[in-house]
Structure 1
Amino acid sequence: MKNLKLFVLALGLFTLNLSAANLNPIKATDELRSEMIELIGSNFMDEMLEDQYEANVLFTVNANKELIVLSVESDNDQLENYLKRRLNYKKVNHKPTKYGEIYLLPVKMIKQI
């Protein structure tokens, strides 16, 4: 009986892991992307040494039309923190077609010369 419980638990964790790995984020709409670009701003590049930085922002929009940042993938920790600080829990005018949709926004920041 103990082995059966352990097997069921392992099978459940395996299934959960597979379903989490199959997240297919959708691209943000042009309107949502524009609002996010305004929220991000350009202040970050004034302080940075390199001319270009890239990141992928994974987020969702809740029922209150607030951005919820799920993750930021970047080689630069400062950029990750900056994007989280500028976007997380900020209001937008986007109403998702269904709640819980996960969006992907690729961000490329280039220093203006």
Structure 2
Amino acid sequence: MRKLSLVFVAALVFASGSIFANDIENVKPTKSLSAQISKILADNNFSNAEVNLTAQVRFTLNGEGEIVVLSVDTDFVNLERFVKNKLNYAKVDVANAEEGKLYTIPVRIAG
């Protein structure tokens, strides 16, 4: 009986150790942001002639979890307008994002 309780306690110690070893807080918000931004920008009206347009988008998040676009670095004015109109003050759901932190993501419109 004593050995059974020792085995049970050892199993609990190992189980609790593996539970606490998983670091859930270490998930980077940029991957989640990138996926959400991709969904927001997926619905576009660019023609087949306007494929492979690229831009670097710098933005921050405000206290309400909304994207605030700071700049769109691209040579295509229509892409810049499109990105600003779609993303500016778009609500995103990110748990570990810091308010006021600058984020930069690449955007590419593919055909």
Q: TM-score normalised by the shorter chain: which range applies?
A: 0.5 to 0.7
Contact map agreement 1:28 1:103 (CA 8 A) in 2: no
The corresponding residue for 1:83 is: 83
**Could you tell me how far 1:81 is from its partner in structure 2?**
0.1
How many Å separate the matches in 2 of 1:73 and 1:67?
16
- Aligned counterparts of 1:60 and 1:96: Cα–Cα separation in 2: 13
Partners of 1:48 and 1:71 in 2: CA distance: 25
Equivalent residue for 1:58?
58
Partners of 1:78 and 1:39 lie apart in 2 by: 17
Whole-angstrom distance in 2 between the partners of 1:48 and 1:42: 14
Spell out structure 1 runs of 4+ moving beyond 3 A: 95-98
Report the CA distance between 1:95 and its aligned residue: 4.1
The equivalent of 1:104 in structure 2 is 104
Aligned-partner Cα distance in 2 for 1:40–1:97? 20
Give the 3 Å change call, closer, same or farther, for CA 96–61 of structure 1 in structure 2.
farther
8 Å contact from structure 1 (residues 44, 82) kept in 2: no
- Offset, 1:41: 1.4
The aligned counterpart of 2:32 is: 31
Q: Which stretches in structure 1 are left out of the alignment for 5+ residues?
A: 1-26
Quick check: 1:43 aligned with 2:44?
yes
Greater shift, 28-37 or 47-56, is seen at 47-56
Correspondences of 1:4-15 after superposition (within 5 Å): none
* Equivalent-residue separation in structure 2 for 1:40 and 1:102 (angstroms): 20
Structure 2: stretches of 5+ with no match in the other structure: 1-27
Give percent identity, aligned residues only.
33
Higher strand share: 1
Distance (whole Å) between structure 2 residues aligned to residue 71 and residue 35 of structure 1: 18
Aligned residues: 84
| Larger-Rg structure | 2
Q: Is the 8 A contact 2:61 2:98 kept in 1?
A: no
